Amino acid sequence: MNKIIDDLNWRYATKKFDDTKKISDKDLETLVEATRLSASSYGLQPYHIFIVENPKIRKQLQPFSWNQSQITEASHLIVFANKETFGEELVDDYLKNVMATRGLKEEAIKGYSDFMKSNLMTLTDDQKDNWTSKQVYLALGNLMTVAAELQIDTCPMEGFEKEKYDQILGLDKKNLSSTVVLAVGYRSKDDDTQHFPKVRYSKEQLFTHI
């Protein structure tokens, strides 16, 4: 079978991590770079990602995470936070990067700028929050796939109190809101979940070819 399929069959939502094993700096950098290269709508990446290693902060977060052990046992805790709202600066900052990276003049990208702004600036704050939070999951999926290729375990988690996370991490002062958390590390041999057969719908049930 194709290696990537083997890797995806190997991965599961790890419930118990081995807290004695840490991700190497090299592998962590690979995960970071893979996440940075993730796709996003218009390429805007309207989010920020926090890599939490500090054990004191993670201990603070645990009670607001249904006391799940992954919060403190995993090698690293990654918090994805979306921009709650935005103005034209989201597009302007991105296009400054486009011009610098590709050596373009402002007039060359003005049409694209107007197009993006016409679509995004008419959204309500609730719609902006909904749209930016969806972009987070593209990056999350990419990180999890690359982690599986590296034989690094992950557990995506939505079971946490976002308001408390935002307060502890200072996100509420940065126009950011915690969206999803990813525990990253290495499975414990005592985690029985790793031995459970993977349950998914068949291709016939899940896909329709038209």
For the beta sheet containing 76-83, the strands, ordered from the edge strand earlier in sequence to the opposite edge, are 47-52, 76-83, 176-185, 153-157
Tell me which residue has tokens 């050596």: 103
Model pLDDT for residues 143-188, shown as the tens digit of each residue: 999 999 999 999 999 999 999 999 999 999 999 999 999 999 999 9
Beta bridge partners of 76: 184
What is the per-residue DSSP string for 166-183? HHHTTGGGTTEEEEEEEE
Calpha distance 153→165 (Å, rounded): 23
- Cβ 12 vs Cβ 151: under 8 Å: no
Q: What domains appear along the chain, each with residue ranges and CATH number?
A: 3-36+46-84+129-189 (3.40.109.10)
pTM, whole model, 2 decimals?
A: 0.96
Tell me which residue has tokens 């690293």: 76
Tell me which residue has tokens 């999890």: 144
Model pLDDT for residues 51-103, shown as the tens digit of each residue: 999 999 999 999 999 999 999 999 999 999 999 999 999 999 999 999 999 99
Alpha carbon of 151 to those of 7, 13, 132, 142, 184: distances in Å?
7, 13, 29, 14, 11
pLDDT at residue 17, rounded to an integer: 98
- Cβ 85 vs Cβ 128: under 8 Å: yes
Q: What would the two tokens of residue 208 be?
A: 């329709």
